[in-house]
Amino acid sequence: MYVAVKGGEAAIANAHRLLAARRRGDANVPGLTLEQIAGQLSLAVDRVMGEGSLYDPELAALAIKQARGDLIEAVFLLRAYRTTLPRFGHSEPMDTGRMVVERRISAIYKDLPGGQLLGPTFDYTHRLLDPELAGDAPVDAPETGEDANERVVRVSDILGDEGLIEDDPLADASRPVADITRTPTEYPMDRDARLQTLARGDEGFLLALAYSTQRGYARSHPFVGEIRIGEVDVEVMIPELGFTVAIGRVKLTECQMVNQFQGSAKAPPQFTRGYGLVFGHAERKAMAMSLCDRALRASELGEDIVAPAQDEEFVLSHCDNVQATGFVEHLKLPHYVDFQAELDLVRRMRAEHFEAATKAADETAATDDTMEAAE
Amino acid sequence: MSLSETLDAPADEIAPAASKPLLSVNQLTRVYGSRIGCADVSFDLWPGEVLAIVGESGSGKTTLLNCISSRMTPTCGTVHYRMRDGASADIYKMAEAERRYLMRTDWGFVHQNPIDGLRMTVSAGANVGERLMAVGNRHYGNIRNTAIEWLSRVEIGEDRVDDQPRTFSGGMRQRLQIARNLVTEPRLVFMDEPTGGLDVSVQARLLDLLRGLVSDLGLAVVVVTHDLAVARLLSDRMIVMKEGRVIEAGLTDRVLDDPRAPYTQLLVSSILQV
Amino acid sequence: MNALTQDTSSQNLASYNFAYLDEQTKRMIRRAILKGIAIPGYQVPFASREMPMPYGWGTGGVQVTAAIIGRDDVLKVIDQGADDTTNAVSIRAFFAKTAGVVTTTATPDATIIQTRHRIPETPLTEGQVLVYQVPIPEPLRFLEPRETETRKMHALEEYGLMHVKLYEDIARNGHIATTYAYPVKVEGRYVMDPSPTPKFDNPKMHRSETLQLFGAGREKRIYAIPPHTEVVSLDFEDHPFEIQHFDQPCAMCGAEQVYLDEVVLDDKGGRMFVCSDTHYCESRRADGHCGALLGDEPGLGAEANTRKEAM
């Protein structure tokens, strides 16, 4: 006989037990350590820190391990932890001009103060699978050189000194910087909130949008002014002391995109900016972010909004992969109450449809009969 | 008018409603940065009067239309509208709710491209009925009947009432847009190149229809057009614009038959063959 | 900072507050709730937090519950009317773990009922709070995708578009074809989405003795219906709002005038209908009520088949 479905609790417990076993994999193979993940899958860790918006390589590594390598799930784990942390304050604006750079390239100057520094990049590698990596062959120690002690000037500052690029839009100092984790989303969104949203947006989504701008959907004629990756001090103002104190360093990737100039009667022609800044080593994400930022400045720069990448509500309300995955996956939840309502409606409408069709057929038949009779 | 003439009395006392302008535009200016959209435009529009604003593209006529129809805030100047209770109100001093209510009841706006003025994914009946529902009409049968009646007034058959405008031809869409605007019997309708994207034969039919509706309903209309033939057929008075300023204004027949400003003369001689 | 500490991982990497959220966040949510109560039906933006369950799985409802729950509260969680659906079980377990509160399946015993997609059949009373999980709080969303525009429409009370949709339903189908998430007007002012409850439940919201709170986590909105508030389902004078009716009573408890789930019995078209509200059904059976199925067990197959032939 029919028994109402019961035992949700036991089913969930069993499912989670199976998940734990699957996550561990073959018990004869040693388990991964967090050091291994943080050290050898560091780009995955960086992505999870960036989109999880929490700078903590150890927790990010734990999240990746717990998520069985599903990075969006790992981002989700990290976010759900981050949100419970009390907020003590905020840092001073970080000066990326004083970054200790590991990589620094510019596509618009052949050489420049501080030089081009390739750093650890996949660029110019041939993408040939390396069978040696299947083992654990020793690798050569990296080449090192003398620190030239030269200040690595930001390319945008070089352009800015000549007035060739617009000034960074001036922030109103009297207004607190937005915090999208502490205030509700409201549109139109100011640039601070927008950049925060993009910084933790999904890399794949932003990459696709950035790509679309290059293919003519809001083309902005971009040049990579500069990409720099390296460590920057985090300084916090301690009110009791009255001065700032460095509390640590974080690794950042910054991308300054230099875009098509525009001018107006008031302002002479100059290049415009698109900006990307992400935790860790995340070059693709920073570049995509800077292209999207530039596209989203359309209304500010008086450009027509014609493409998806320029549409603020479209981009910003859909770029968060934790939100997106949750809502897409919620379709798995039972919907039978609503479905019952729809089922009832469709049945009724079908009945009405067939009733009407039958009636129409009868009428036609009747007309035919009449005609025959008349004949 | 004939009444006041026969009685030989001041117009104010005899027919106060008709003797005061419906719309008063005073020194309206809109600038874009340092460029002028339109500058220092003043005119009155009287109940039941059709005013054409003509000029080449870039002459500021669309900017002017948007400013007087509250779709774009002017840089300076005022626009006063005489409400149904006879009181005159500055449309830019009204609360937004009041202004939007005015726009969907007492005013109409006919876009050049019907897609801008229609809901393409709902039926023709709902397109016409929307304004009625917006002002609180809650009887489906009545709304539908009114929609059918208005569709027939713009020569769209009753059998199309449940079809979406995407299945309509360009001319039908434009007529549907007109019906959608007129259903609340507005007193003032703004039109932006209403015959713009249409074939010549379709244009002629639409103009004919418009002329009939305007006189039947006693509508006041401000119509923007670059086509002097449209101005000739529809309007009582016209304003000629160039580089954001009014070059010449007057009765349509007078301006077209006896243009005074050199620019108007050029415009009339080069284009007008009606 | 006590409830969960002992339960968290041995690595001691993380610890959580009572009912998961920190007190600052709870205060922020309570302010949004109070504002919602003060303006019935108005969607109050709030700084929704990431929760340890996915967006779309009840994060809004969970945040509202977490913000209002106290140690003495008794919590009931239902999904589709049932206490034992997996997501209801999961949310109940979450609060049992993070807040250590007593949970129940009995509607009258609960002080807080968190729900997805149903309102219990047992009338709710003063002092209880019904917390809805809301996926898309904006009733105008599918007519106008832009938040900036829909907020303006609410502010200016421009709801003509809502009736345009209902008009289209009637023009196309002969009747209003909205069966769930059926829009309502609250206290004569705001048009509100009642969350995807079947329209069957709409009348229960009207002048309810219970405080009704709505949380949409992903969309970052909270709204409320205070007790005794007027809640009217939108309709036309000549096409009045009506709720679903079922042709037969519940097969298990014989209840009528309740919302039923259709249960597929076999692959030959055998169907039966049982209460969607599992607690209501169980308590009726405990009181001795008996449906067709329990009254005449051996006849089930024949009964189902008969119904099939009749259809």
Q: Write the pLDDT tens digit of every residue in C26-73.
A: 999 999 999 999 999 999 999 999 898 898 899 999 999 999 999 999
A242-272 pLDDT, tens digit each: 999 999 999 999 999 998 776 665 667 788 9
Q: What local confidence, expressed as pLDDT, does residue B6 receive?
A: 38
Question: By the CB < 8 Å criterion, does A175 face chain B?
Answer: no
Q: Smallest Cα–Cα separation from C185: which of C137, C244, C230, C147?
A: C230
- Per-residue DSSP letter, A181: T
For tokens 């009432």, what's the residue? B161
Closest residue in A to B35 (Cα–Cα): A265
Asked which of A2-6, A213-217, C119-123 is least confident by mean pLDDT, the reply is: A2-6
* CB contact (8 A) between residue B140 and residue C170: yes
pLDDT band at residue B196 using 50, 70 and 90 as cut-offs: confident
Number of H helices, E strands in chain C: 9, 12
A164 vs B106, higher pLDDT:
B106
Number of inter-chain CB pairs under 8 A, A vs C: 161
Q: What local confidence, expressed as pLDDT, does residue A264 receive?
A: 60
Among all residues of C, which ones are annotated catalytic?
A: 41, 250, 253, 275, 281
Please report the residues numbered 324 through 353 in chain A whose beta carbons come closer than 8 angstroms to any beta carbon of chain C.
325-330, 333-338, 340-345, 349, 352
How close, in Å, is residue B34 to chain A by CA atoms? Answer: 7
Mean pLDDT over C208-216 rounds to 97
Q: B interface toward A at CB cutoff 8 Å?
A: 33-35
Strand partners, C261: C274
Q: What local confidence, expressed as pLDDT, does residue C298 receive?
A: 38
Percentage of the residues of chain B whose pLDDT score is greater than 70: 92
What's the rounded Cα separation, in Å, for the pair C61 and C65?
6
What's the rounded Cα separation, in Å, for the pair B35 and B32?
5
Number of inter-chain CB pairs under 8 A, A vs B: 6
Tokens of residue B26, six digits: 């005073």
pLDDT band at residue B2 using 50, 70 and 90 as cut-offs: very low
Q: What local confidence, expressed as pLDDT, does residue B27 receive?
A: 95
Mean pLDDT over B27-48 rounds to 92
Q: What local confidence, expressed as pLDDT, does residue A338 receive?
A: 87
Of A76, A81, A323, the CB nearest to C218: A323
Chain A positions touching B35 (Cβ under 8 A) are 265
Strand partners, B189: B108, B221
Q: Which residues contact A30 (CB under 8 A, 6 or more apart)?
A: none
* CB contact (8 A) between residue B162 and residue C238: no
Choose, out of B105, B122, B160, the residue to mutate when testing the contact with C (most C CBs < 10 Å): B122
Phi first, then psi, for residue A191 (nearest 5°) are -65, -35
* CB contact (8 A) between residue C198 and residue A8: no
Q: Which residues contact A49 (CB under 8 A, 6 or more apart)?
A: A55, A56, A57, A60, A78, A279, A280
Indicate whether C252 pLDDT > 60. Answer: yes
Is residue C20 a contact partner of residue C64, using CB atoms and an 8 Å limit?
no
Please list the alpha-helical segments (H only) found in B113-251. Answer: 114-117, 124-134, 140-153, 170-182, 200-217, 228-234
Asked which of A95-99, B199-203, B217-221, C304-308 is least confident by mean pLDDT, the reply is: C304-308
Chain A positions touching C4 (Cβ under 8 A) are none
pLDDT band at residue C110 using 50, 70 and 90 as cut-offs: very high
Phi first, then psi, for residue C26 (nearest 5°) are -60, -40
B237-250 pLDDT, tens digit each: 999 999 999 999 99
Mean pLDDT over C104-133 rounds to 96
A56-89 pLDDT, tens digit each: 999 999 999 999 999 999 999 999 999 888 888 8
Indicate whether A375 pLDDT > 70. Answer: no
Chain B positions touching A264 (Cβ under 8 A) are 33
Q: Which helix (H) or strand (E) holds C93?
A: helix C86-98
Q: What local confidence, expressed as pLDDT, does residue C292 receive?
A: 86
Q: Smallest Cα–Cα separation from C254: which of C293, C207, C308, C309?
A: C293
B81-117 pLDDT, tens digit each: 999 888 999 999 999 888 988 998 999 999 999 999 9
Q: What local confidence, expressed as pLDDT, does residue A374 receive?
A: 46
Tokens of residue A246, six digits: 């460095």
Q: What local confidence, expressed as pLDDT, does residue B8 receive?
A: 43
Q: Smallest Cα–Cα separation from B108: which of B24, B22, B216, B192?
A: B192
Question: By the CB < 8 Å criterion, does A81 face chain C?
Answer: yes
Closest residue in A to B36 (Cα–Cα): A265
Longest dimension (CA), chain B: 57
What's the rounded Cα separation, in Å, for the pair C74 and C84?
17
Chain C positions touching A340 (Cβ under 8 A) are 198, 259-262, 276
pLDDT band at residue B63 using 50, 70 and 90 as cut-offs: very high
Q: Residues B137-145: contacts with CB within 8 Å, 24+ apart? A: B138/C163, B138/C235, B138/C236, B138/C237, B139/C236, B139/C237, B139/C238, B140/C167, B140/C170, B140/C236, B140/C237, B140/C238, B140/C239, B141/C238, B143/C167, B144/C167, B144/C171
Closest residue in A to C85 (Cα–Cα): A8
Chain C positions touching B143 (Cβ under 8 A) are 167
* CB contact (8 A) between residue C260 and residue A340: yes
SS3 category, B53: strand
For tokens 């039972």, what's the residue? A334
Of C165, C167, C172, the CB nearest to B143: C167
What's the rounded Cα separation, in Å, for the pair C100 and C4?
9
**What is the Cα Rg of chain A in Å?**
29
Pairing between strand B188-192 and B220-225?
Answer: parallel
Q: Which residues contact C262 (CB under 8 A, 6 or more apart)?
A: A340, A343, C271, C272, C273
What's the rounded Cα separation, in Å, for the pair C132 and C230?
18
Indicate whether A39 pLDDT > 90. Answer: yes
Question: By the CB < 8 Å criterion, does C240 face chain B?
Answer: no
* CB contact (8 A) between residue C164 and residue B126: yes
Q: Smallest Cα–Cα separation from B186: which of B140, B212, B221?
A: B221
Indicate whether C218 pLDDT > 80. Answer: yes
Asked which of B156-165, B200-209, C207-216 is least confident by mean pLDDT, the reply is: B200-209
What's the rounded Cα separation, in Å, for the pair B267 and B261?
10
- Per-residue DSSP letter, B51: E
How close, in Å, is residue A4 to chain C by CA atoms? Answer: 8
pLDDT band at residue A171 using 50, 70 and 90 as cut-offs: low
Asked which of A29-33, A286-290, C175-179, C302-306 is least confident by mean pLDDT, the reply is: C302-306
Pairing between strand C74-79 and C102-103?
Answer: parallel
Tokens of residue A282, six digits: 């995340």
Strand partners, C264: C271
Percentage of the residues of chain C whose pLDDT score is greater than 90: 69
Q: What local confidence, expressed as pLDDT, does residue A153 receive?
A: 87
Chain A positions touching C281 (Cβ under 8 A) are 4
Q: Between the CA of residue A81 and those of A3, B25, B244, C54, what are the distances in Å?
A: 39, 61, 60, 13
SS3 category, A213: helix
A296-340 pLDDT, tens digit each: 999 888 888 899 999 999 999 999 999 999 999 999 988 888 888
pLDDT band at residue A54 using 50, 70 and 90 as cut-offs: very high
Q: Which helix (H) or strand (E) holds A208?
A: helix A203-214
* CB contact (8 A) between residue C163 and residue B133: yes
Indicate whether B14 pLDDT > 80. Answer: no
Tokens of residue A260, six digits: 């098509």
Q: Smallest Cα–Cα separation from B177: which of B108, B104, B107?
A: B108
Question: By the CB < 8 Å criterion, does C156 face chain B?
Answer: yes
Q: Smallest Cα–Cα separation from C61: which of C35, C82, C90, C39?
A: C90
What's the rounded Cα separation, in Å, for the pair B133 and B140?
9
What's the rounded Cα separation, in Å, for the pair C61 and C117?
12
Please report the residues numbered 108 through 137 in chain A whose beta carbons come closer than 8 angstroms to any beta carbon of chain C.
none
* CB contact (8 A) between residue C55 and residue A334: no
Q: B interface toward C at CB cutoff 8 Å?
A: 96-97, 100, 104, 119, 122-123, 125-126, 129-131, 133-135, 138-141, 143-144, 161-162
How close, in Å, is residue A273 to chain B by CA atoms? Answer: 22
Please report the residues numbered 250 through 289 in chain A whose beta carbons come closer than 8 angstroms to any beta carbon of chain B.
264-266
Chain C positions touching B138 (Cβ under 8 A) are 163, 235-237
Indicate whether A15 pLDDT > 70. Answer: yes
For residue A218, count other CB atoms closer than 10 A to its CB. Answer: 24
Q: How many C-alpha atoms does A270 have within 13 Å on its Cβ side?
A: 18
Q: Which helix (H) or strand (E) holds C51?
A: none
Angle, to 10 degrees, between the axis of helix A71-82 and the axis of helix A42-52? 50
How close, in Å, is residue B35 to chain A by CA atoms? Answer: 8
- Per-residue DSSP letter, C247: S
Question: By the CB < 8 Å criterion, does C174 face chain B?
Answer: no
Report the sign of the C-alpha dihedral through residues A71, A73, A76, A82, in that order.
Answer: negative
Is residue B134 a contact partner of residue B140, using CB atoms and an 8 Å limit?
no
Asked which of B58-62, B195-199, B223-227 is least confident by mean pLDDT, the reply is: B195-199
Indicate whether C115 pLDDT > 80. Answer: yes
Chain A positions touching C59 (Cβ under 8 A) are 326
Is residue B132 a contact partner of residue B146, using CB atoms and an 8 Å limit?
yes
Q: How many C-alpha atoms does A5 have within 13 Å on its Cβ side?
A: 19
Please report the residues numbered 18 through 77 in chain A whose beta carbons come closer than 8 angstroms to any beta carbon of chain C.
58-59, 62, 76
Is residue A228 a contact partner of residue A96, using CB atoms and an 8 Å limit?
yes
Chain B positions touching C155 (Cβ under 8 A) are 97
Closest residue in C to B128 (Cα–Cα): C164
What's the rounded Cα separation, in Å, for the pair B218 and B47?
8
Q: What local confidence, expressed as pLDDT, does residue A170 receive?
A: 67
* CB contact (8 A) between residue C237 and residue B119: no
Q: What local confidence, expressed as pLDDT, does residue B89 receive?
A: 92
Number of inter-chain CB pairs under 8 A, B vs C: 56
Indicate whether B208 pLDDT > 80. Answer: yes
What's the rounded Cα separation, in Å, for the pair C135 and C59?
9
Q: What local confidence, expressed as pLDDT, does residue A6 receive?
A: 55
> Residue C12 region, left (φ>0) first, then alpha (ψ -120 to 50), else beta?
left
* CB contact (8 A) between residue A266 and residue B35: no
Closest residue in A to B34 (Cα–Cα): A265
Q: What local confidence, expressed as pLDDT, does residue C224 receive?
A: 98
Indicate whether A289 pLDDT > 90. Answer: yes
Q: In what order do the strands lie in the sheet with B245-251?
A: B107-110, B188-192, B220-225, B50-54, B237-242, B245-251
* CB contact (8 A) between residue A5 and residue C84: yes
Mean pLDDT over C273-288 rounds to 94
Tokens of residue A114, six digits: 């501080």
Q: Between the CA of residue A124 and those of A127, A128, A285, C210, what are the distances in Å?
A: 9, 12, 19, 67
What's the rounded Cα separation, in Å, for the pair C183 and C193?
5
Q: Residues B200-205: contacts with CB within 8 Å, 24+ apart? A: B202/B169, B202/B170, B202/B171, B205/B171
Q: What local confidence, expressed as pLDDT, does residue A203 receive?
A: 97
**Average pLDDT of chain A?**
89
pLDDT band at residue A370 using 50, 70 and 90 as cut-offs: low
Closest residue in C to B162 (Cα–Cα): C171
Closest residue in A to C92 (Cα–Cα): A9
Chain A positions touching B36 (Cβ under 8 A) are none
Is residue B76 a contact partner of residue B38, using CB atoms and an 8 Å limit?
no
Chain B positions touching A266 (Cβ under 8 A) are 33-34
Tokens of residue A327, six digits: 């809502």
Q: What local confidence, expressed as pLDDT, does residue C85 receive?
A: 87
